[in-house]
Structure 1
Amino acid sequence: MADDNAPPFAKVAMGVFKIIDAPVTLFREKFVIPNQEKSTHKWYHRRFRRVPSFDECDVDDPICMYEAEEQYRRDKLVDNQILKILRQRKIECLAWEGPDASRKCKKVSEDYETSATNWFIKYGDIGASATGIDAYMKQKHRLIWERRKAAREEA
């Protein structure tokens, strides 16, 4: 065996390692791995079903309006986190690449700018305490403005 030629200190160190490692390995092999194999479904986060939006709800249906409002809040939180991640990637790329950042970080910067523009189109200028109805009205007014602008350009 290769252990027979090892120095005495290495033999003692290996013995201590085996004493500490044996119960941990036994616990992992007897309990952790069999329990992991039973449950193959991974739970990362809760998935909510999509509910009708404000334009699909009846005016006198408070439950539908409440669900649409909650979905709006969840969507806004997700969009905020996506924007935060993209911003952090851009900052890290600019810091990492240094002088070549304008060339090497072009794709990351474009992704961030596009997402920030889309976020602003949807949530910008309506305030932090805005509701889903406010965002829906902003979208409606924007669509009306775009149609009027297109009609003026055609004439």
Structure 2
Amino acid sequence: MPEVEARNVVERFFNSVRRMLEGPVVWVRESIVEPNQQHYPWYHQKFRRVPTIDECYVDDPVCYYEANCQYKRDRQVDTEILTILRTRFEECHMYEAPDHFERCKEIKRQYDEATANWFTKYGDLGAYHNVRSAYMKQKHRMLWERRHGPVGEGLKAEENIEA
């Protein structure tokens, strides 16, 4: 902060008190904190991608642990994306009050699609689930779709059985 010439004794007194209090703080920040700070080009930490649970060996607990941590981070990110979409929809709903059905249709569609995708991946797993139970859910869903067709479209057509 540039020093301005004080007009009277009171201003000079307060300027000297400010310099006494602010000086050590500025010195520590400029000579210790800023030179030792790491400069990230992103504003959040980027984790490297690790092998997923289907790429791990059965007897490799380290790989399982890393896959589980990555799964939990991915779940947090997906949940946060849902929160952002829900907030956008609620704000659009409030802002576009009488015409919100028409004007917020696209945001509502995106939110509904993201909610369905989130539930497909993480829903019905219970409170204490891990990457292995999510992988088993995915496997069971794929087997169901192979046998009966896509989930939600009803059973596949009955084959005519001729006796």
TM-score, normalising length: structure 1:
0.72
Q: 1:58 to 1:153 in 2, by over 3 A?
A: farther
Q: 1:40 to 1:89 in 2, by over 3 A?
A: same
Q: Could you say which structure has the higher helix fraction? A: 1
C-alpha displacement at 1:153, in angstroms? 4.2
Query: How far does the alpha carbon of each residue in 1:97-141 deviate from its partner, in whole angstroms, 9 at most, with x for none?
Result: 011001100110001000000000000011122111111100000
Query: How far does the alpha carbon of each residue in 1:54-90 deviate from its partner, in whole angstroms, 9 at most, with x for none?
Result: 1110000000000000000000000010000100111
Q: Percent identity?
A: 50
Structure 1 stretches of 4+ with a deviation exceeding 3 A read: 150-155
Corresponding position: 1:109 with 2:140: no
Q: 1:141 to 1:43 in 2, by over 3 A?
A: same
Q: 1:142 to 1:74 in 2, by over 3 A?
A: same
TM-score, normalising length: structure 2:
0.68
Mapping for residues 8-23 of structure 1, pairs under 5 Å: none
Please, which runs of 5 or more residues in structure 2 have no aligned partner? 1-14, 16-25, 150-154
* Structure 1 equivalent of residue 63 of structure 2: 64
* Structure 2 equivalent of residue 96 of structure 1: 95
* Structure 2 equivalent of residue 133 of structure 1: 132
Distance 2:84 2:125 in 1: 23
* Structure 2 equivalent of residue 49 of structure 1: 48
Please, which runs of 5 or more residues in structure 1 have no aligned partner? 1-19, 21-26
1:51 aligned partner, one-letter code: V
Pairwise CA RMSD: 2.9
Q: 1:149 to 1:92 in 2, by over 3 A?
A: same
Distance 1:130 1:63 in 2: 18
* Structure 2 equivalent of residue 8 of structure 1: none
